[in-house]
Chains A and B, each alone.
Chain A
């Protein structure tokens, strides 16, 4: 199959994730959009692994690492969101301005 197929698919998922991160107010929705972007990266890694026929299958190994990192990232991200919700009764990221002067 042409290499462009998975690349365009990944680019589309990534762009959808970019749109979601910028357009959403709800912090949980922003985290979901970030998951879409991480998946797009993984599709690229696996596609180039298949294209280059890497003997070390580095693309797939790094896709596994990215998935593990995504698990850690979403866990911490949601813990922070839950803490903010507990203290401020909101998960709207434009109302969370603790660091703004």
Chain B
């Protein structure tokens, strides 16, 4: 019981420490550095070239499907963790449960493949 919160207490202490580190580093930077802005210094740095266009560059809608595929299989992988822990206990039933689950999602992947959304070009 206490060990649970103690373990995460260490984590919380580390989190606070790292936030404090960043805050102190950037705060000291802001206090110590000279501040003389010129228009040239304030433009976007693009490796020496003059920046072209606005900062808002629109990506293609095609990439959205890739992002959503990632989300779907992220959700699937999350359910695999508890399954892997109880698989030995429950046995064959758990195996088929997961086969159905992954099989249904595999249909979606197959559909995406058939419709050609997985082709990059």
Does any Cβ of B come within 8 Å of A68's Cβ?
Answer: yes
Shortest distance in angstroms between B1's beta carbon and chain A's nearest beta carbon?
13
Contact A75-B61, Cβ < 8 Å, known A64-B78, A68-B75? no
Which residues in B have their C-beta under 8 angstroms from that of A75? 68, 71-72
CB pair A71–B61 under 8 Å, yes or no, is no
- The 3 A-B pairs of least Cβ separation, nearest first, read A75-B68, A68-B75, A71-B75
| Interface bin, chain A | 10 to 19
Query: Could you list some 17 contacts between A and B, CB below 8 A?
Result: A64-B78, A64-B79, A67-B75, A68-B78, A68-B79, A71-B71, A71-B72, A71-B74, A71-B75, A72-B72, A75-B68, A75-B71, A75-B72, A78-B64, A79-B64, A79-B68, A82-B61
CB pair B75–A86 under 8 Å, yes or no, is no
Chain B, residue nearest A68 (CB): B75
Which residues in A have their C-beta under 8 angstroms from that of B78? 64, 68
CB pair A86–B61 under 8 Å, yes or no, is yes
Interface string of B62-80 (1 = CB under 8 A from A): 0010001001101100110
Chain A, residue nearest B65 (CB): A79
Q: How far is it, in angstroms, between the C-alpha of A94 and the C-alpha of B79 when the chains are bound?
A: 39
Q: How far is it, in angstroms, between the C-alpha of A64 and the C-alpha of B74 when the chains are bound?
A: 13
Q: How far is it, in angstroms, between the C-alpha of A1 and the C-alpha of B78 when the chains are bound?
A: 29
Chain A, residue nearest B58 (CB): A85
Q: How far is it, in angstroms, between the C-alpha of A86 and the C-alpha of B61 when the chains are bound?
A: 9
CB pair A82–B72 under 8 Å, yes or no, is no
Which residues in A have their C-beta under 8 angstroms from that of B68? 75, 79
Which residues in A have their C-beta under 8 angstroms from that of B64? 78-79, 82
Q: How far is it, in angstroms, between the C-alpha of A78 and the C-alpha of B64 when the chains are bound?
A: 9
Shortest distance in angstroms between B95's beta carbon and chain A's nearest beta carbon?
20
Chain A, residue nearest B71 (CB): A71
Q: How far is it, in angstroms, between the C-alpha of A82 and the C-alpha of B64 when the chains are bound?
A: 9
Chain B, residue nearest A69 (CB): B75
